[in-house]
Amino acid sequence: MSTVAARSDFAREILHVYGIITWVAAVIALVVFAGLAWVLLRFRDRPGAPPPPQTRGHTLLELSWTIAPALVLLLIAIPTIQVIFRTQAAPAAGALEVLVRGRQWWWEFRYPALDVATANELHLPAGRPVQLTLEGPDVIHSFWVPQLGGKRDVVPGRLNRLTLTPDTPGEYWGQCAEFCGASHANMGMRVVVDAPAAFERWVAAQRATPAEPAGPAAAGKAIFASRACVGCHTIRGVSAGVLGPDLTTFGGRKTLAAGMLPNTPETVAAWVKDPGAIKPGVKMPALGLTDAEARAVAAYLMTLK
């Protein structure tokens, strides 16, 4: 999650200004510390010596060290203003639209033009501008994927926008960056930047209706379909709940519970059995499944790719 490993135009623009300011700051710090060290070494009191000359000030000196910082600030202000305008510009035509809904404590991602809905793992094509529209139904969150750029708050009642073009395929981590309650620390996400062809394959997989599961997974699906799960979750062709994450391609995601755990049959079974034990304050209740039922449901969910 390093802010200095830039993987988008937005992040690189920021890094450009970051670098300038860091150098300027380092030089100023050096000047001040060197000055401090020198005066402390050079001007010591000697017992019995008379008081030093009682200099009260020096107008020219004071003027220069007022003007000098102002000029130095120009070095920072000019690139700052330039980058503000470049990064706040409206996105180019043909930008991919993604609706981001930050909720306690997970991320919902919808691609309206592609009829795709998913959660906690955002896929983007490399080299294409994306406009993220941020909103939320509960409290303020903040969308932050450091390698792809700066953060932007999710403010209920407002639409905030973030525009960027990821340039390098890879997997990037993000996390909520505005304190939002009990599991604020557990509201992570993954962003997978694919080469365009791979992204198209992913989109196609998202849109497909999952195949009928066989074996223990079938039992799991039966449990899912008959319990309260369907009230909160959507699985294409099975249920249409909107309170919790869309699970249509859950099995293909790399992490569970918004980046908390790797997505394996064991972790999923533990989660399904007792989410509250893993994620403090989570809204998903424990449904009183037995261990066997939980494993079956996990097996089913892992087939959803």
What residues numbered 154-193 form the site for another protein, per CB under 8 A?
155-158, 160-161, 173, 175-185
Task: Say if CB 241 and CB 232 are below 8 A apart.
Answer: yes
Question: How far apart are the two ends of the chain, measured CA to CA in Å?
Answer: 26
When asked if residue 209 is in the footprint of another protein (CB under 8 A), the reply is: no
- Asked if residues 170 and 185 have their Cβ atoms less than 8 Å apart, the reply is no
Closest approach of another protein to the CB of residue 49, in Å: 6
Span interacting with another protein, options 59-67, 121-129, 211-219, 293-301, rule CB under 8 A: 59-67
Work out how close the CB of 184 gets to another protein at its nearest, in angstroms, rounded to a whole number: 6
Of 1, 3, 2, 5, which is closest to residue 167 (Cα–Cα)? Answer: 5
Q: How far is the CB of 299 from another protein (least distance, A)?
A: 26
Tokens of residue 203, six digits? 């989109």
Should residue 13 be labelled a site residue for another protein when binding is judged by CB under 8 A? yes
**Quick one: angle between helices 59-87 and 9-42, nearest 10?**
160
Binding test (CB under 8 A) with another protein, winner from 127, 281, 285, 288 = 281
Q: Which 80-139 positions form the footprint of another protein (CB under 8 A)?
A: 80-81, 83-85, 87, 104, 134, 138-139
- DSSP category for residue 142: E
* Binding residues for another protein restricted to 235-264, rule: CB under 8 A: 260
CB nearer to another protein: pick between 164 and 238: 164
CB of 25 to another protein, least distance (A): 4
Tell me if residue 239 falls in helix, strand or coil.
strand
Instruction: Report the 10 Å Cβ neighbour count for 86.
Output: 12
